[in-house]
Amino acid sequence: MNPEMTARLGESVPRYTSYPTAPHFHPGVDAQIVRGWLQSIDVDDEISLYLHVPYCDKLCWFCACHTKQTRHYVPVATFLRSLHREIETVGELVSGKGKVRAVHFGGGSPTILKPEDILALGKALRDHFDFLDDASLSVEIDPNDMDEGRLDAFAAIGMTRASLGVQDFDPKVQKAINREQSFLLTKSVVDAVRARGVSSVNLDLLYGLPHQTLESVAATVAQALTLKPDRIALFGYAHVPWFKKHQTMIDEAWLPDSTARLAQSQLAARLIVDAGYEALGLDHFAKPDDALAASARAGKIRRNFQGYTEDQCETLIGLGPSAIGRFRQGYAQNIVAMGEYEKVVSSGQLAIARGIELSVDDLARGWIIERLMCHFAFSAVDLVERFGETGQGLLHQASRLAISGAGRLLQLDGESFVVPEDSRPLVRIVAAKFDKYFQSGAGRHSLAV
């Protein structure tokens, strides 16, 4: 990467797990609007469900998720009563329309739940939604939480993918981020979920953490590879202390600079690919026979709030405080504050706080951004065929970008606009060129790499 492009590593841009991004959601999209979106789901639609569990028993200082630490189960039990009520309310609005293709338990730590509560949630979902026989169920797992009872419960409700947070195996790094977790503990959980028939294991790794070096990153990747995960997600640590105050516990002097972050990410990626994994999008890897790799080869990989996915559902229903849903008409986010969320859902109302309705321009720009983030390219012909005059206008914008000084970031290759291979670490900067909201200045973002 040349010096001019290296200098751009420190730019702050969105991660583009949606478009428009969450800072541009507004309260004009309310419960009444989203009620209509839910009721408009077709009988034959396939839908996804995301359940957000907003509690952890220990707060990791690197985390930027909406979660709270609790050492007592009473707040969790109270939340679960509200979540069950929300599932009932949303299920009644959907009223048998749509079939559930995928479920994702996220957080927070879904694995904080007691086994009997995991079983009750699984039953509630199937009582209020129609499931396809081959529906997938993914669970974000904190290995520190796991025991035999929880493992059995998640297996009993149909877990098909376990996503384990690793971050880094170096004790010095773990101490700095308040996430102590041995390799042996992680291995024991991987072995346990596989013993229960779980067909896919994902490991989440991070670069850019305090005290990380090229040597420590390489050592973590080497240990992770011995577990033979089906997928690996390699995320850059997002240091956003203005958004998450607990990140101030991390001394910024301990953090690698932008150049070191890039070197860490490239080293980790090279080691993973050399081990036989296929690189997918910006930061995911999968074994060649994994469904995500097959989806990528077919040009069908998607990107949502959980990262890269083979999930093709146009409707994603978010359940739980702060959860974000995606519909054909737009995005909707639930109330973040726990007390307010509980009050609203206990009255039988939808817990919608804000969202955004999608214009044709939003859809066209979002399509470009997703194609760039997933495939580092988009077809000019497809753009115009899909979006007509709106697509034609964006085609002119892409052409100007490709022939300008920024041409190192985007080039025209035949009928496709392509991010050159050496510029791909900066693909989020390329995506931002098509983001009409980005220049408004709303929201602060993490580093580009």
Instruction: Find the largest Cα–Cα distance for the chain.
Output: 60
Output the pLDDT for position 446: 54
Backbone angles phi, psi at 294, to 5 degrees: -65, -40
As given in the structure block, the two tokens for residue 153 are 């419960």
Output the pLDDT for position 437: 93
Which of 1.10.3720.10, 3.40.50.80, 3.30.160.70, 1.10.10.920 would CATH assign to domain 359-440? 1.10.10.920
Output the pLDDT for position 103: 98
Question: What does DSSP say about strands 278-280 and 284-286: parallel, antiparallel, or unpaired?
Answer: antiparallel
Backbone angles phi, psi at 352, to 5 degrees: -75, 130
Query: Pick the residue with more confidence: 209 or 66?
Result: 209
pTM: 0.92
* Mean pLDDT on 355-366: 98
7 pLDDT band, cuts 50/70/90, is low
Output the pLDDT for position 403: 83
**Does residue 95 have a pLDDT over 70?**
yes
Output the pLDDT for position 391: 97
As given in the structure block, the two tokens for residue 108 are 């927070």
305 pLDDT band, cuts 50/70/90, is confident
Output the pLDDT for position 6: 66
pLDDT tens digit string along 223-270? 999 999 999 999 999 888 877 787 888 888 999 998 999 999 999 999
- Report the C-alpha gap between 372 and 411 in whole angstroms: 12
Q: Evaluate the CA torsion angle 215, 219, 224, 228 in order and state its sign.
A: positive
Output the pLDDT for position 441: 60
* Mean pLDDT on 92-110: 94
Q: At what angle do helices 74-94 and 31-39 cross, to 10 degrees?
A: 50
Identity at 162, one-letter amino acid code: A
pLDDT tens digit string along 312-352? 999 999 999 999 999 999 999 999 999 999 999 999 999 99
Q: Does domain 41-328 have CATH number 3.80.30.20?
A: yes
Q: Is 208 left (phi over 0), alpha (psi -120 to 50) or beta?
A: left
Output the pLDDT for position 443: 53
Domain limits of the chain?
41-328, 359-440
Contact partners, residue 291, CB within 8 Å, separation at least 6: 200, 310
Output the pLDDT for position 4: 61
Identify whether the C-beta of residue 345 lies closer than 8 Å to the C-beta of residue 82: yes
SS3 annotation, 71-115:
CCCHHHHHHHHHHHHHHHHHHHHHCCCCEEEEEEEEECCHHHCCH
Output the pLDDT for position 405: 62
301 pLDDT band, cuts 50/70/90, is very high
Collapsing DSSP to helix, strand or coil, 148 comes out as helix
Output the pLDDT for position 245: 81
- Mean pLDDT score of the chain: 93
CB atoms within 10 A of CB 437: 18
pLDDT tens digit string along 398-426? 999 888 765 589 999 999 999 999 899 99
